[in-house]
Amino acid sequence: MMNAWLLVIALFAVVWFAVFGAKLMERRNLQIRQVVLAAQGQELNRQLTVLQQELGLTSAGGMTPEKAALIKNLLGERVLWSEVFKRFSLIVPRGMWFDSLEGSSAGRAAIKIRGGALNYDIISQFMLAMQKSAFFDKPQLSFAQKTVVRGRDAVGFEIICGIRKGQ
């Protein structure tokens, strides 16, 4: 009888220490996560301060309606170039390459693409994909001309198209 009670007490102690250890590890992991989040928050605050300084919003007066309208206008004129490259990655067919990309966001956002393709059909596939996209606006082929690249026939091209802001 005494051995049974000792076994129950020992079993209870083992279970209690296991639960206690698991909770202790969980607490430690949460503390580490809290430190990481605090560091990320500090970095975001630093970036916010830099952006506010660039936009001239460092005054203690806070946000006026004029400043809010200015910020909205500036952000509306901005082109997120990483999104442009992402869209290209979705529609560029095999057998096409870009030699240069030149973007402009002043006034009408536009991009000039110079590159090459293995044949004219590939260029037309790319332009058709651009036309179907709600992101690119009125792609125009400036030129497409046969050339030789590394001993192979290819077609050099230049395409100019607009970028729809706010997409």
- pLDDT (0 to 100) of residue 62: 61
Collapse the DSSP code of 164 into the 3-class scheme (helix H, G, I; strand E, B; otherwise coil) and give the result. Answer: coil
98-119: per-residue pLDDT in tens? 999 888 877 678 899 999 999 9
Q: What angle do CA 102, 103, 107 make, to 5 degrees?
A: 140
Read off the pLDDT band of 47 (50, 70, 90).
confident
pLDDT, residue 158, reads: 95
Question: Rounded to whole angstroms, how far apart are CA atoms 143 and 122?
Answer: 14
Q: So what's the pLDDT on residue 94? A: 93
79-163 maps to CATH 3.40.50.300:
no
The pLDDT tens digits for 73-94 are: 666 556 677 788 888 888 999 9
Sheet holding 136-149, edge to edge: 96-104, 110-117, 152-163, 136-149
Helix (H/G/I), strand (E/B), else coil: 64: coil
pTM: 0.52
